[in-house]
Amino acid sequence: MPPPPRVRFAPSPTGYLHVGGARTALFNWLYARHSGGQLVLRIEDTDRERSTEAHTRVILDGLSWLGITWDEGPLFQGEYGPRHQADAERLLAEGKAYRCFCTREELEAQRASAGNAGGSFRYDRRCYRIPAEEAAARAAAGVPSTIRFLLRDEELAWDDAVHGRISFQGRDLDDFVILRSDDTAIYNLAVVSDDIAMRITHVIRGDDHISNTPKQIALYRALGHQPPVFAHVPMILGPDGKKLSKRHGATAVGDYQEQGILPTAMRNFLALLGWSPGGDREILPEADMIELFTLEGIQKKAAVFDATKLEWMNGQYLSTLPAQELVAPVRRQLERMGISADGDLAPLIDAVKARSRTILHVAGQVAVRLDPSRPPLDPKGEALIRKMGPAFSTNLQRAADALDGVEPAGWTPERLLDLLKRVAEQHGLKLGDAMQPIRVALTGSTVSEPVNELLAVVGRERSIRRIREVAHRWNGGGPPA
């Protein structure tokens, strides 16, 4: 039996956790959990100038928030410099790599004379022609040099688990540098050296790495190891078909956390960016996602990030979550809004969560119900006031008068519903024309829980006071056009 798969997520801590990175991490996690394998977390911090501990922290926090757990690590690539260097020197000793003494300026000049300043050019191997002993002597004398990999003219192909057969020819690639003059490894060597040492069996990463893969395969062969299975997952695009970027809105996982997206919803949404469980299932609890995940289910074509769908999905998760689980995040959000809420928030949350798409939205709705003195009027509320004209105010007054007659003990959703029906009947109103103004008065919007429940949640005194205030304000009909 083959050993269980070992996969890795290898972010560079040079920025926040991008949704694309999170999706790569998620696919690795799903694959590991599906196959009974292991996930290694490797922080690729070799870019000393741009890597920071703060970024590492943000990445780890983002993964934890999403519920992505790893079995080994975080390991830090920066600690494996000696092994990278030893691998490069082994290739050198075996004649599979050579020292290059060309300076940056010389390379620039070669590039310019190749007629492609600034663009890509193929190194002409001039340093390969320096006899090995001479090169060793120069290096020993302290002349700075890099180590370049000697690419043979061979087919460098693999069966990509997503894209099928992909093939490159060695002669079309450059003798790439593997070790800098300061003895630090270039990305391709560091990754291959680490993936070998960490016994990685499957490399699941973004499509943008396809051009690195032939070089990495050449390195595996030169180092005497079997390459892993590669699965290159499709890019994520914005709705306009361009690569997802800040122009399209938030791209950091942390931003979605801030916006009140639930981690379960975010994870479900990310899983469907480029993967499909088959059929048209959209809401996938963790266990189903793990059970159904396969590399074959990953699509070749780019995925489109649809923020509206994310909100919809979040709404689905919100509505099924017990209110109790939302109390803490809603309270935190209320505190940020400068509203202290000491009482039991669960009934209020229960009243609004089915119609809310994010925690921020829930908190906003709860805030209005805690203090309905100044709900912001939304466009639908405003349109209703305009449409009803003077009836808006008159109907509110009628409702307030009737509500005034309700004993505090009778302020229950059932009794309030009876009462509102009676008010409508008495004045020959459609039920909606009696109810909607109350809804707008208390929430600023035409969308809320049933009006009788809303009144119950807001409470007797506050409801009546607010309804009278609003009736008074709009007395004379409609907001100014």
- Active site amino acids: 246
- Return the range that interacts with ligand GLU (CB under 6 A); candidates 6-14, 145-153, 385-393, 435-443: 6-14
Residue with tokens 């460098």: 156
Contacts of 464 (CB under 8 A, 6+ apart): 400, 403, 404
Q: φ and ψ at 310, to 5 degrees?
A: -60, -45
In angstroms, the CA 441 to CA 373 distance is 9
CB 194 within 8 A of CB 82: no
CB 415 within 8 A of CB 405: no
Regarding 11 and contact with ligand GLU (CB under 6 A), the answer is yes
Which of 7, 10, 271, 435 is the binder for ligand GLU (CB under 6 A)? 10
- Return the range that interacts with ligand GLU (CB under 6 A); candidates 4-12, 50-58, 90-98, 218-226: 4-12
Cβ-based nearer residue to ligand GLU, 138 or 209: 209
Cβ-based nearer residue to ligand GLU, 198 or 271: 198
Least Cβ distance, residue 252 to ligand GLU (angstroms): 15
In angstroms, the CA 218 to CA 224 distance is 10
Cβ-based nearer residue to ligand GLU, 18 or 361: 18
Q: Which H/E stretch holds residue 420?
A: helix 413-426
Site string for ligand GLU, 35-54 (x = CB under 6 A): ---------x----------
Residue with tokens 């919803």: 265
Regarding 78 and contact with ligand GLU (CB under 6 A), the answer is no
Question: What is the bridge-based pairing of β-strands 146-149 and 97-100?
Answer: antiparallel
Regarding 161 and contact with ligand GLU (CB under 6 A), the answer is no
Q: Among residue numbers 203 through 242, which ones bind ligand GLU (CB under 6 A)?
A: 205, 209
Least Cβ distance, residue 11 to ligand GLU (angstroms): 5
Tokens coding 359: 């925690």
Least Cβ distance, residue 193 to ligand GLU (angstroms): 12
In angstroms, the CA 427 to CA 414 distance is 21
CB 165 within 8 A of CB 157: yes
Cβ-based nearer residue to ligand GLU, 18 or 369: 18
Cβ-based nearer residue to ligand GLU, 216 or 443: 216
By CB under 6 A, name the binding residues for ligand GLU: 10-12, 44, 191, 205, 209
